[in-house]
Amino acid sequence: MINFDEFIVWIISSALLGLLMATKIAWPILSIEPSDLLLMFAFALVMLFIFIAGQKIAAWYYNCDIKMKWLSFRQYWFRDQYRFKWPFPLWLILPIFLFFITASKLTWSAILDFDLEAKAGRLQKRWSNIDDVDVAKIVIAGPVASLVFALILKVVGLTSLAIYPAWLAFLTCIPVGMGMKIFFGSRNLAVFFFFLTGIMLVLMPLAGWFSTVIVGLLIATIIVVAYYTMYEQ
């Protein structure tokens, strides 16, 4: 279930991403069509809903509850006194900065994060602690759902739109924000999904959907096996 605070996060995040995806820059002019803005806002709503739903379902499977929030931080150095008084809005600064620095070619869409807590049913079990691997798996459910959405869009011929959820999946697997949860939970999972999402993102406009999946899985598997052999054994 999404509570009211999460609903507001979802709507505002979709509005921000829709605005950035619909705006084009040809220096010094910023151009935007109202019809494009409405279309991209609606698309961002669906894209983020699928991403959030994937993580919510995974959290339910592990008998946990997650509360979606914006990507932010307060601690900016090692000692406790090096903290911002208010959370730094990385969810707002990072997308706008990347948007302008790349002249609207790239938008940082991984602007969500979550807090997690165990439900009463999990606390009654012997193994009630939420370990980092479970958290990593919950995070990964978002990129997996986004990749499935991207492949569906590609199959129906909307490859230009399929790039956006594939890009969201890739950014989520970078060790920033949610990606740090994957990295600290399981480096093997972090390596695998970083390369899987990256390769599928590159192949999405170049190859068929089946080839995109098979090549992505094959290369990511080879890389993670090599990584495990060299560094984890």
- Give 9-68 pLDDT, tens digit per residue: 999 999 999 999 999 987 777 888 888 999 999 999 999 999 999 999 999 999 899 999
- Residue 70 CB neighbours (<10 A): 17
pLDDT at 122 over 80: no
Cβ-contact 185, 132 below 8 angstroms: yes
Model confidence at 125, in pLDDT bands (50, 70, 90)? Answer: low
Cβ-contact 147, 172 below 8 angstroms: no
Q: What is the pLDDT of residue 223?
A: 96
Q: What is the pLDDT of residue 87?
A: 81
Q: What is the pLDDT of residue 226?
A: 94
Give the lowest-confidence range in 48-52, 72-76, 175-179.
Answer: 72-76
Q: What is the pLDDT of residue 201?
A: 97
Average pLDDT, the chain: 90
pLDDT at 120 over 70: no
pLDDT at 113 over 90: yes
Model confidence at 86, in pLDDT bands (50, 70, 90)? Answer: confident
Q: What is the pLDDT of residue 126?
A: 46
Model confidence at 4, in pLDDT bands (50, 70, 90)? Answer: very high
Give the lowest-confidence range in 5-9, 85-89, 150-154.
Answer: 85-89
Q: What is the pLDDT of residue 27?
A: 77
Host domain of residue 92? 4-232
Q: Which stretches within the chain are classed as H helix? A: 4-22, 34-61, 90-101, 120-123, 132-155, 159-172, 178-185, 187-203, 209-227
188 vs 175: CA distance, rounded Å: 13
- Residue 53 CB neighbours (<10 A): 14
Average pLDDT over residues 146-155: 97
Q: What is the pLDDT of residue 189?
A: 95
Domains in the chain, number: 1
